[in-house]
Amino acid sequence: MDLGTLWTHVGRFFGYFDRITALENGSGRVWTDPGEWFWGWKKWGLLLGFVLSFVSSSNLVTNRWLRGGARRFLEFCRTVPDIVFALIFVLAFGLGPVPGVLAIAIHSMGSLGKLFYEVVENIDRKPVDGAIASGASWMEVVRFAALPQVLPNFTSYTLLRFEINVRQASVLGFVGAGGIGLDLIEAIRKFYYNDVSAILLMLIITVMLIDFGTEKLRHRLIGAMERH
């Protein structure tokens, strides 16, 4: 270890933490603009549920403390209603879309994680045993032995959850969590009846179109899975 080199570049270590707490546009710290800070939570909730589903699976993780901890965390995320999460985040971040996005992301993570790990626990064990016997790491076992078997079901459940989230997003707006629901509750409170009917019609048509499209896609995925 070269102490001189360490001393010369030690500033980069602290500079990194300074960088990750600064907004990309240089206008201040991340906590001054939660909307910009948490811009990706819509997909992060899905990704966290995806990762935790493998950690929660008894046929892939033998450590019962790790597996149990992951399952209890997912249980907490899906047991607390998303509207409760939205109320908490409204208090923390104020009115706007951020509380709604965070509430939906956390609840989706808990629900999808539960569905995902149940699928993982029912996969064919032979490819997993073969990968382990050949010396594959845990990540390689997941990538090459487990993931190909579960991907169609994962996609189907994700599309189903997308339908639910679109409907739920309009409800979260009632507590100030942004989205079309905020416009709807404002129109109701101000007695703008034409706006209320227009927004409701738009919501119904949107949900119908999404439901029709995702149902067709799910059936195609299930059919492809059965053929293989």
Does pLDDT of 1 surpass 80? no
Q: What is the pLDDT of residue 67?
A: 86
Secondary structure of residue 68 in the 3-state scheme: helix
Q: What is the pLDDT of residue 16?
A: 60
Can you give the residue range of the structural domain that contains 181?
A: 24-227
Question: Band of the pLDDT at 159, cuts 50, 70, 90?
Answer: confident
Judge whether 6 lies within some domain. Answer: no
Give 22-52 pLDDT, tens digit per residue: 776 777 777 777 666 665 555 556 677 777 7
Give 129-139 pLDDT, tens digit per residue: 898 888 888 88
Q: What is the CATH number of the domain that holds 176?
A: 1.10.3720.10
Judge whether 4 lies within some domain. Answer: no
Does pLDDT of 228 surpass 60? no
Judge whether 102 lies within some domain. Answer: yes
Angle 54-161-200 from CA coordinates, rounded to 5°: 165
The stretch 161-190 carries a mean pLDDT of: 78
Judge whether 43 lies within some domain. Answer: yes
Contacts with 124 (C-beta within 8 Å, 6 or more apart), sequence order? 149
Q: DSSP letter string over 4-38? A: HHHHHHHHHHHHHHHHHTB-TTSSSBGGG-HHHHT
Judge whether 18 lies within some domain. Answer: no
Q: pTM of the full predicted structure?
A: 0.65
Q: What is the pLDDT of residue 224?
A: 62
Does pLDDT of 105 surpass 80? yes
Judge whether 2 lies within some domain. Answer: no
Cα separation, 159 vs 93, whole angstroms: 29
Handedness of CA 184, 100, 75, 225 (dihedral sign): positive
- State the residue for tokens 């948490």: 38
Judge whether 17 lies within some domain. Answer: no
The stretch 97-120 carries a mean pLDDT of: 86
Instruction: Please give the tally of structural domains in the chain.
Output: 1
